[in-house]
Amino acid sequence: MAKEFWRWKEYNWKSENINWNNGAIITGGVDVGSVSSQAVVLVGGELFAYSSMRTGSDSPMSAVNSMNWALEGTGMTLENIKYVVGTGYGRVNVPFANKTITEIACHARGANLMYGNSVRTILDMGGQDCKAIRCDEKGKVTNFLMNDKCAAGTGRGMEVFADLLSVPIEDVGELSFYVEEEPPPVSSTCVVFAKTEATGLLREGWHKNKVIAAYCSAMAHRVVSLLERIGVEDDFVITGGIAKNVGVVRRIAKEIGIKTLETEYDSQIAGALGAALFARSLAEKGK
Amino acid sequence: MITQFRDWEQNRHTYAKAWKEKTGGKVMGYFCTYVPEEILYAANILPVRILGSHEPHDVTEAHIFGMFCPFCRDCLAQGLKGKYNYLDGVMISQSCLHIRQAYTSWIKHVPIDFSYYLPMPNNIQSTHAVKYLAGELAQFKVAVEKWIGKELTDEDIKHGIEIMNENRGLMQQLYSYKKNENPLISGEETMEVAISEQMVDKREHTPVLKELIDKIAGGAGSKNNGTRLMVLGSEDDDIAFIRMVESVGATVVTDDHCVGTRYFWNNVENNDDYLEAIARRYCERPACPSKDWIERSRIPHILSLAKDFDVKGAIVIQQKFCDPHELDIPAIIKALNAIDVKTLFLEFDVTVPLGQFKIRVEAFLEMLQEDDLF
């Protein structure tokens, strides 16, 4: 079986410093996206555990699996979690969720914690769509825009290119800078057309790094038009899986002329983290 | 409560064919709501608005530009596919070039007994507009008389005005109940009523509408206490979309589009010169963007609707490639935002991606809610 270069590494994490059994309120957030699912558990509002894994064909099972994996080795079970919010495309398929909230609201709330309350613009680059979100100092959404009609500028597009070029997806961003000069972007309107164009460029003798650079550039250009429509206000951050791709992130920052903030948190859990934070507020209010 | 309206809306073609068989009268398909139905009713012709089906089709590519709006393409597709094969006539009153192209292509490719292009002025704010349109209506009246073989008297025209005015007045009354805190009729139900009035003989529609209003006045109906929204912009007869919006916690309480308030918001006022009175009504009705210049009357009108119906947010719809609305929308959004009415912009195509739109609508409603989540 041929190697699948698009397959990114699944992972989980747990805090070694938090005693979850100390009576603090425990809440969870599960973000079932089109490509990946994340589960986050908070203890007293502090990040306690999380996981990130691929969403399979069974969304409810993805929700269960991601939460189970986040809880693995912690001694905590689902019964210990007082309130769970489901988010993402599969938010209605989280069997143990008390409430569903859109990923747009959750990413803004999550980014507010991850990057601080100075964040005003968030670009969530997800598996199959992009969202440009404006928010206030509480992380409350004040405006948003989503990409329309195609997957250009999304994680799935990048996965297609990783496979085409036989480059592990985690390496794509760095490799895109190993070029003598920045090539013009490939088609920015359609992943399939972009792939066709890239195949032609490889046949012309382009090095794969140059093709990657052309695609990262196209992806950046694509989402910048979305950002321009909504207007970018400092501070600006990127969440979602593509936030880990420096090839895209730096090119976006260069195009809009604003640096993205960095965080010690995993950018991919922003949606689930926001969901868990909302769960905490709702649990405290008894809703 | 709205079973009859829904039946009419869903079985529009069956209804029109049965009407024709029952009355022996002619049926006129019309594009755009600037068509003076008063004159058609005066001639005992049934006006039926031509709308799309919201189903994918592949028949218009050879006849209409790809960058013309999906609504006009969908309308033309209905003609090319023979869905309106019972029509005796088809007409348009000038509004935008896209729908005019649909009309032009229709009369070229679909055999029809009678067709008429009514040059409704675009510069309706001109001091000459009413007089000009009255003259055009006189010519249209002559064409209709020639077609049906009968002269239309003042009494006939007056009767046509009364039929239209009565129905419009009732629709205005129905909407007035939607100003209440918990409207007893949903946006989806309202749209069923509004669409059906554009294709059903108003002499049948009006008594059923009266019954509906009586029921609502008597407290019947379900509570609709979702987040109060208005829908505005390009043509929108997409009931499935409104149903989806209301299923996630909204109530559509008013609108500004041509399958809603713009169709019935004002009446023909009394005047001895009936044609001039009709002309004045169409020049002074809430404008669509193709006719809203030099002064922009739409913005104060929309703001007034938003305030009167106490809306919290507005869904702004644009049919893809609809240039007139595309020009108007930024200014309208700015004006609504200035009075703290937030907006959600959505671009419509022949088919609407309900799944994608649902996320946006839900997020929009979350945005409008108080800070419950914080």
Q: What is the mean pLDDT of residues B169-188?
A: 96
Nearest CA in chain A to B345: A145
Contact A232, A253 (CB under 8 A): no
**How confident is the model over A108-132, as pLDDT tens digits?**
999 999 999 999 999 999 888 889 9
Contact B373 A146 (CB under 8 A): no
- Is the backbone peptide bond immediately before A256 cis, with ω within 30 degrees of 0? no
Contact B86, B13 (CB under 8 A): yes
Contact B359 A89 (CB under 8 A): yes
- Using DSSP's 3-state secondary structure scheme, residue A231 falls into coil
Q: Do domains A11-109+269-285 and A120-260 have the same CATH topology?
A: yes
Burial of B182 (0-12, 13-18, 19+ CB in 10 A): exposed
Q: What is the mean pLDDT of residues A188-192?
A: 74
Is the confidence at residue B276, as pLDDT, over 80? yes
- Taken in order B247, B251, B256, B261, the sign of the CA dihedral is positive
Beta-sheet strands, E only, within chain B? 27-31, 46-49, 89-93, 114-118, 227-233, 250-256, 313-319, 342-348
* Contact residues, B window 139-198, toward A, CB-based 8 Å cutoff: none
What per-residue confidence (pLDDT) applies to A197? 87
**How confident is the model over B82-136, as pLDDT tens digits?**
999 999 999 999 999 999 999 999 999 999 999 999 999 999 999 999 999 999 9
In a domain, B115, yes or no: yes
Q: Report residue B65 as tokens.
A: 């530009």
What per-residue confidence (pLDDT) applies to A154? 81
Complex confidence, ipTM: 0.88
* Contact residues, B window 4-63, toward A, CB-based 8 Å cutoff: none
Distance CA B368, CA B346 (A): 17
- Residue A59's pLDDT band, with cuts at 50, 70 and 90, is confident
Contacts for B238 with CB less than 8 Å, ≥ 6 apart:
B54, B348, B352
From B216, B231, B294, B281, select the one nearest B261 (Cα to Cα). B231
Q: Report residue A234 as tokens.
A: 């400092």
What per-residue confidence (pLDDT) applies to B221? 85
Q: What is the mean pLDDT of residues B221-246?
A: 94
- Residue indicated by tokens 């554009």: B198
Q: Which of A141, A281, A287 sits opposite B366 (nearest CB)?
A: A141
Q: What is chain A's mean pLDDT, rounded?
A: 91
**How confident is the model over B136-162, as pLDDT tens digits?**
999 999 999 999 999 999 999 999 999
Distance CA B331, CA B341 (A): 13
Report the 3 state secondary structure along B69-90: CHHHHHHHHHHHCCCCCCCCEE
Q: What is the mean pLDDT of residues A236-242?
A: 92
Residues of the domain holding B113: 18-148
Q: What is the mean pLDDT of residues A34-56?
A: 93
Contact A123, A130 (CB under 8 A): yes
**How confident is the model over B323-361, as pLDDT tens digits?**
999 999 999 999 999 999 999 999 998 888 898 899 999
In a domain, B106, yes or no: yes
Is the confidence at residue A231, as pLDDT, over 70? yes
One-letter amino acid for residue A77 of the chain: T
Q: Which of B347, B363, B372 sits opposite A141 (nearest CB)?
A: B363
Q: Domain count of chain B?
A: 1
Burial B265-291 (b: 16+ CB within 10 A, else e): bbbbeeeeebbbbbbbbbbbbbbbbbb
Q: Which of B362, B363, B373 sits opposite A278 (nearest CB)?
A: B373
- Residue A3's pLDDT band, with cuts at 50, 70 and 90, is confident
- The Cα of B337 is separated from the nearest Cα of chain A by a number of Å equal to 11
- Residue indicated by tokens 């799309």: B52
Q: What is chain B's mean pLDDT, rounded?
A: 95
Number of H helices, E strands in chain B: 15, 8
What per-residue confidence (pLDDT) applies to A225? 87
**How confident is the model over A141-168, as pLDDT tens digits?**
999 998 866 666 688 888 888 888 899 9
Is the confidence at residue A189, as pLDDT, over 70? no
Interface test with B, best of A59, A91, A93, A104 (most B CBs within 10 A): A104
- Residue A70's pLDDT band, with cuts at 50, 70 and 90, is very high
CA angle A194, B346, B195 (to 5 degrees): 130
Distance CA A188, CA A196 (A): 12
Q: Which of B359, B367, B372 sits opposite A141 (nearest CB)?
A: B367
Q: What is the mean pLDDT of residues B49-75?
A: 92
**How confident is the model over B4-33, as pLDDT tens digits?**
999 999 999 999 999 999 999 999 999 999
Q: Report residue B73 as tokens.
A: 């393409």
Domain boundary assignment for chain A = 11-109+269-285, 120-260
Would you list the DSSP string of A119-142?
--EEEEE-SS-EEEEEE-TTS-EE
Could you tell me the strand order of the sheet in which A83-87 lies? A11-14, A46-54, A36-43, A26-32, A83-87, A99-100
- The Cα of A281 is separated from the nearest Cα of chain B by a number of Å equal to 6
- Residue A101's pLDDT band, with cuts at 50, 70 and 90, is very high
Is the confidence at residue A71, as pLDDT, over 60? yes
What per-residue confidence (pLDDT) applies to B355? 86
- The Cα of B50 is separated from the nearest Cα of chain A by a number of Å equal to 28
What per-residue confidence (pLDDT) applies to A193? 83
From A182, A171, A244, select the one nearest A218 (Cα to Cα). A182
What per-residue confidence (pLDDT) applies to B371? 67
DSSP summary character for residue B198: T
Number of CB atoms found within 10 A of residue B11's CB: 12
- Structure-derived torsion over alpha carbons of residues B352, B355, B356, B360, reported in degrees to the nearest 10: 110
Is the confidence at residue B374, as pLDDT, over 90? no
Contacts for A281 with CB less than 8 Å, ≥ 6 apart:
B372, B373, B374
- For the domain with range A11-109+269-285, which CATH number is right: 3.30.420.40, 3.40.50.720, 1.10.10.10, 2.40.10.10? 3.30.420.40
Q: What is the mean pLDDT of residues A57-83?
A: 94
Q: What is A120-260's CATH topology?
A: Nucleotidyltransferase; domain 5 (3.30.420)
What per-residue confidence (pLDDT) applies to A152? 67
In a domain, B66, yes or no: yes
**How confident is the model over B28-57, as pLDDT tens digits?**
999 999 999 999 999 999 999 999 999 888
Q: Does A85 touch chain B (CB under 8 A)?
A: no
